[in-house]
């Protein structure tokens, strides 16, 4: 094996061994406090949890960094992806094993997981059981390692860089420090490609010996352990501890003992969940305190008002009211709704003190503005975007787009059907697609399904609240944007126009909506920074062998769901744009009607792939019917809404708030039916939110649930307007307070740059800079199985927790306006 990078003379090795032995005698590491397999099927003791395949690889985007063997160390998930992998520092789309089976033996306290790589005919078991103060991890083979995997397959365990950078490591051969920024080592292979080398190797490895809250020791029974820096290969990589599987052996072929220090009596600090933005005097005000299961009684909680001179006055005090257990924590509430006097306040108790927040009638008045002023301009595709001295990005994707070939499957959930549904040939340039649209999320694709949802939300804001704010100069002719430079036109109208231009372009070119436009390869897809540098801005020349072949691909399948969704947005936009861009408004309405007639004259195209070909076709048709009815008043759309009642009834929480917007166009019988269904939904919703103390629906899955929180809050606002006797205002306000800090795991505002303490490390195009885009809203708290709520504030690369998405920004703007409207005059 290669000589360790940090080898040292033998006398020093003996000294280091002594130092390591001494480290292992620190209280909390050498003590005999074993892990126990609990009722949730993970190993637990105070200060440490070891999960063994409670979570598995994300089915949508493969490696989401929450799978395999994982450590939750003093309340922080610090290690993940403990599994057999085929390279030292695998990237997101590299092969992962498929789970075959998982068995829990409570008698022996062992979790055994069967996994395999089908392409290699290779299966294996990973056994995890308590050992000493930690766990024993074994890789067990029935048959020897296949020849194709010899020298490639190894057991990896990945450690979170932000939890360890700057901290020390010690092996039986040397010591060093984990780098803040990736620094190698890397070699050049015989094929010219980079080869990732370990920072160190040895039979034992201790990470962070100086930090009792992060100290982890791994010992190999046989073979060596190497530690690699995965960030050399990809910015979202982690530190990887790896042991190579030996060839020609069966049975236990790799065995590690892993021990993690625990601080005696450690208790996770209580989190005081409150709105970082503040509260309107008239609204209900309840802080939610999230306490460790081992925490002492919380005792008295105080609300203090802070005067201009810094003096503090207690205005309310009470014992925290115990709510109960949710996930892994105990929850309490502190109600100060009766406090209405405007001012600056803090909450103090349980050894914690909150950030200062306001009670004021205009608490929410400006909270939506960074989203419209900054986030949406930064996301604008095909535009040069400047902010004072900063260029956010140049004019990107002016070479859009190339026709994809039939049957093409794409790694970002796009797929082309068997037919092109296009007048262009595979590889041919498609003119007319290089304007309008927003970057969908932290990446750069034009996703139609997101666009039409965003346009409809922005139209809702315009029609119901008509904000005339003008802080941005948007020149469509020059394709140029200046943030904080007014141009005399309401910014909201200009953003509606920009999204609509991308939608109408598809109908002009193809005669129908398309799934979207996306990067052709992973090299471009993983691009970070200025989108204008991702392609050369020039149309590829198929006859030029030196052409970079870098133009984005247009996926062009003509699906019924996308057509209806696009038609709904175009019909809505036609109303908002009238009087501002009348020609575009007329074209949008005419196109929407044409699409409606076309879809009602053919058999539906139900081709589906990923999440890019539209929602449920009946739901999308209902949206088109509602928007066309609102725009034209024609009875045929009302008749179709009646016929679509089964979709309304079955998914009332999703579809009911949409339909109530056109109740004035419906007959008395339909209105009565809607009221009766709404009353039942009120009871159904109460059951949905009863499991947690926040009064919102907290979803569980690979993508966190702020979209559902905002959607339910906005839906409640519409239902309250339609049936005020059935729906009060609190669910709408609770949704907003959840975003602003009254949520599990932390009390950070999920809206960047909004609130005293907000999301400042997020998954935008600038995520490698560990920064944020003002006004962006992240997905929020991701509940990892079985009971761990997480939102990383120091690691932006978790897209399911931290990725900005445009439709969330638009629906958030609506929610803030709705909350302010509900509270005015109270």
Task: Burial-class residue 262 by CB neighbours within 10 Å (0-12, 13-18, 19+).
Answer: buried
Per-residue pLDDT, averaged over 33-55, amounts to 97
Per-residue pLDDT, averaged over 653-674, amounts to 98
| Residue 695 reports pLDDT greater than 60 | yes
| Residue 61 reports pLDDT greater than 90 | no
- Residue 297's φ and ψ, nearest 5 degrees, are -55, 140
SS3 per residue for 182-251: CCCCEEECCCCCEEECCCEEECEEEECCCCCCCCEEEEECCCCEEEEEHHHCCCCCCEEEEEECCCCCCE
**DSSP string of 395-440?**
---TT--EEPPTT-B-TTS-B--SS--SSS-TT-B-TT-SSS-B--
CA dihedral 85, 89, 92, 94 (to 10 degrees): -50
Paired with 36 in beta bridges are 44
Neighbours of 151 (CB within 10 A): 11
**Confidence band for 826, pLDDT divided at 50, 70 and 90:** confident
pLDDT at 458: 98
Task: Burial-class residue 732 by CB neighbours within 10 Å (0-12, 13-18, 19+).
Answer: buried
| Residue 200 reports pLDDT greater than 90 | yes
DSSP assigned state of 823 = H
For 750-777, write each residue's pLDDT tens digit: 999 999 999 999 999 999 999 999 999 9
Sequence-distant (≥ 6) Cβ neighbours of residue 577 within 8 angstroms: 493, 496, 497, 500, 584, 585, 588
Q: Which CATH code is given to the segment(s) 271-359?
A: 2.60.40.10
Helix (H, G, I), strand (E, B) or coil at 93: coil
Strand 312-319 to 321-326 pairing: unpaired
User: Please, are residues 449 and 393 in contact by the beta-carbon 8 Å criterion?
Assistant: no
**DSSP string of 343-354?**
EEEEEEETTEEP
pLDDT at 65: 95
For 65-104, write each residue's pLDDT tens digit: 999 999 999 999 999 999 999 999 999 999 999 999 999 9
If residue 377 lies in a helix (H) or strand (E), which one and from where to where?
helix 376-378
Task: Burial-class residue 602 by CB neighbours within 10 Å (0-12, 13-18, 19+).
Answer: exposed
| Residue 23 reports pLDDT greater than 50 | no
Per-residue pLDDT, averaged over 266-276, amounts to 98
Residue 790, token pair as written in the block: 């997480």
Nearest residue to 467 (alpha-carbon basis) of 157, 795, 821, 773: 821
CA distance 94 to 583: 49
Residue 421, token pair as written in the block: 């549904």
CA distance 452 to 718: 20
> What's the CA angle centered on 150, arms 146 and 153, to 5 degrees?
95
Phi-psi region of 278 (alpha: psi -120 to 50; beta: other; left: phi over 0): left
CA dihedral 567, 572, 578, 584 (to 10 degrees): -30
For 382-435, write each residue's pLDDT tens digit: 999 999 999 999 999 999 999 999 999 999 999 999 999 999 999 999 999 999
Nearest residue to 458 (alpha-carbon basis) of 499, 496, 488, 511: 496
Q: Where are the beta strands (DSSP E) in 95-183?
A: 98-105, 110-117, 122-131, 134-141, 154-159, 168-171, 175-177
Neighbours of 546 (CB within 10 A): 6
**Confidence band for 1, pLDDT divided at 50, 70 and 90:** very low
Paired with 256 in beta bridges are 137, 220
CA distance 356 to 304: 10
Give the sheet arrangement for strand 329-335, strand by strand: 271-273, 286-291, 329-335, 321-326
Domain range 375-612, its CATH number among 1.50.10.10, 3.20.20.70, 1.10.599.10, 3.20.20.80: 1.50.10.10
pLDDT at 511: 98
Per-residue pLDDT, averaged over 487-506, amounts to 98
CA distance 59 to 62: 6
| Residue 241 reports pLDDT greater than 80 | yes
Query: What are the residue ranges of helices labelled H in 119-205?
Result: 161-164
DSSP assigned state of 371 = I
Per-residue pLDDT, averaged over 223-248, amounts to 96
Domain positions in the chain are 10-260, 271-359, 375-612, 615-677
Nearest residue to 809 (alpha-carbon basis) of 552, 331, 269, 438: 438
Half-sphere exposure at residue 351, Cβ-oriented, CA atoms within 13 angstroms: 12
CA distance 216 to 359: 45
Residue 517, token pair as written in the block: 């436009």
Q: Which CATH code is given to the segment(s) 10-260?
A: 2.70.98
CA distance 218 to 171: 10
**Confidence band for 32, pLDDT divided at 50, 70 and 90:** low
Per-residue pLDDT, averaged over 114-123, amounts to 97
DSSP assigned state of 288 = E
Paired with 485 in beta bridges are none
CA distance 670 to 672: 5
Residue 715, token pair as written in the block: 């839906």
For 555-590, write each residue's pLDDT tens digit: 999 999 999 999 999 999 999 999 999 999 999 999
DSSP assigned state of 148 = G
CA distance 388 to 226: 47
pLDDT at 601: 98
User: Please, are residues 71 and 78 in contact by the beta-carbon 8 Å criterion?
Assistant: yes
pLDDT at 420: 98
pLDDT at 25: 40
CA distance 665 to 600: 22
| Residue 7 reports pLDDT greater than 70 | no
Neighbours of 336 (CB within 10 A): 22
pLDDT at 192: 87
Neighbours of 506 (CB within 10 A): 28
Average pLDDT, the chain: 94
């Amino acid at each position: 094996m290669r000589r360790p990078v940090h080898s040292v003379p033998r006398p020093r090795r003996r000294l280091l061994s002594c130092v390591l032995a001494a480290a292992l005698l620190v209280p909390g590491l050498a003590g005999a406090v074993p892990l126990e397999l609990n009722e949730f099927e993970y190993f637990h003791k105070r200060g440490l949890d070891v999960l063994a395949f409670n979570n598995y690889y994300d089915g949508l985007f493969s490696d989401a960094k929450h799978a395999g063997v994982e450590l939750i160390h003093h309340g922080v998930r610090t290690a993940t992806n403990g599994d057999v992998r085929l390279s030292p520092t695998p990237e997101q789309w590299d092969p992962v094993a498929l789970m075959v089976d998982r068995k829990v033996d409570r008698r022996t306290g062992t979790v055994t997981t069967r996994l395999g790589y089908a392409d290699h005919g290779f299966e294996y078991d990973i056994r995890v059981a308590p050992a000493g103060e930690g766990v024993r991890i074994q890789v067990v083979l029935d048959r020897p390692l296949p020849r194709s995997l010899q020298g490639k397959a190894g057991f990896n365990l990945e450690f979170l860089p932000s939890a360890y950078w700057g901290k020390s490591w010690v092996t039986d051969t040397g010591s060093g420090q984990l780098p803040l920024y990736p620094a190698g080592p890397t070699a050049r292979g015989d094929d010219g490609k980079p080869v990732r080398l370990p920072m160190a190797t040895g039979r034992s490895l201790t990470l962070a010996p100086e930090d009792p809250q992060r100290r982890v020791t791994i010992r190999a029974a046989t073979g060596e352990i190497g530690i690699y820096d995965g960030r050399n290969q990809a910015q979202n990589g982690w530190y990887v501890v790896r042991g190579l599987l030996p060839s020609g052996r069966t049975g236990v072929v790799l065995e590690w003992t892993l021990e993690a220090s625990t601080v005696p009596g450690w208790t996770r600090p209580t989190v005081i969940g409150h709105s970082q933005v503040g509260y309107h005097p008239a609204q209900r005000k309840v802080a939610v305190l999230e306490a460790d299961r081992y925490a002492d009684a919380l005792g008295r909680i105080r609300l203090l008002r802070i005067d201009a001179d810094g003096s503090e006055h207690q205005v309310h005090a009470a014992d925290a009211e115990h709510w109960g257990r949710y996930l892994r924590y105990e929850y309490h509430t502190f109600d100060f709704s009766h406090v209405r006097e405007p001012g600056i306040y803090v909450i103090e108790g349980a050894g914690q003190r909150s950030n200062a927040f306001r009670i004021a009638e205009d608490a929410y008045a400006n909270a939506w503005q960074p989203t419209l002023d900054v986030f949406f301009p930064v996301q604008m595709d095909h535009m040069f975007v400047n902010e004072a001295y900063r260029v956010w990005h140049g004019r990107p994707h002016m070479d859009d787009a190339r026709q994809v070939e039939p049957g093409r499957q794409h790694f970002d959930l796009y797929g082309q059907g068997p037919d092109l549904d296009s007048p262009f040939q595979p590889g041919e340039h498609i003119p007319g697609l290089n304007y309008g649209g927003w970057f969908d999320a932290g990446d750069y694709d034009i996703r139609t399904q997101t666009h039409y949802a965003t346009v409809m939300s922005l139209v809702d804001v315009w029609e119901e609240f008509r904000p005339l704010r003008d802080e941005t100069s948007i020149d469509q002719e020059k394709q140029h944007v200046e943030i904080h430079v007014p141009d005399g036109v309401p910014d909201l109208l200009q953003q509606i126009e920009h999204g609509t231009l991308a939608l109408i372009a598809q109908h002009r070119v193809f005669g129908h909506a398309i799934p979207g436009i996306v990067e052709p390869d992973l090299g471009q897809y993983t691009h970070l920074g200025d989108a204008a540098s991702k392609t050369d801005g020039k149309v590829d020349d198929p006859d030029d062998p030196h052409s970079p072949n870098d133009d984005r691909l247009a996926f062009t399948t003509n699906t019924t769901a996308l057509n209806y969704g696009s038609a709904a947005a175009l019909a809505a936009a036609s109303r908002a744009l009238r009087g501002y861009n009348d020609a575009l408004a007329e074209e949008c309405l005419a196109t929407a009607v044409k699409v409606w007639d076309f879809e009602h004259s053919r058999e539906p195209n139900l081709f589906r792939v990923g999440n890019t070909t539209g929602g449920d076709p009946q739901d999308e048709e209902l949206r088109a019917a509602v928007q066309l009815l609102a725009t034209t008043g024609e009875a045929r759309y009302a008749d179709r809404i009646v016929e679509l009642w089964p979709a309304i009834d079955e998914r009332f929480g999703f579809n009911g708030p949409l339909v109530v917007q056109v109740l004035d166009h419906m007959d008395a019988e339909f209105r009565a039916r809607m009221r009766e269904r709404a009353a039942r939904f009120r009871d159904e919703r109460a059951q949905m939110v009863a499991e947690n103390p926040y009064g919102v629906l907290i979803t569980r899955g690979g993508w966190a649930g702020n979209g559902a929180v905002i959607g339910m809050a906005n839906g409640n606002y519409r239902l309250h307007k339609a049936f005020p006797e059935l729906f009060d205002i609190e669910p709408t306000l609770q949704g907003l307070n959840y975003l602003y800090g009254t949520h599990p795991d932390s009390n950070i505002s999920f809206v960047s740059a909004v609130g005293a303490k907000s999301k400042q490390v997020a998954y935008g195009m600038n995520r490698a800079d560990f920064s944020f885009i003002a006004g962006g809203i992240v997905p929020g708290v991701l509940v990892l199985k079985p009971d761990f709520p997480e939102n990383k504030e120091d690691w932006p690369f978790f897209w399911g927790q931290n990725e900005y998405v445009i439709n969330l920004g638009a629906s958030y703007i609506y929610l803030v306006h709705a909350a302010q409207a509900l509270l005015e005059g109270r």
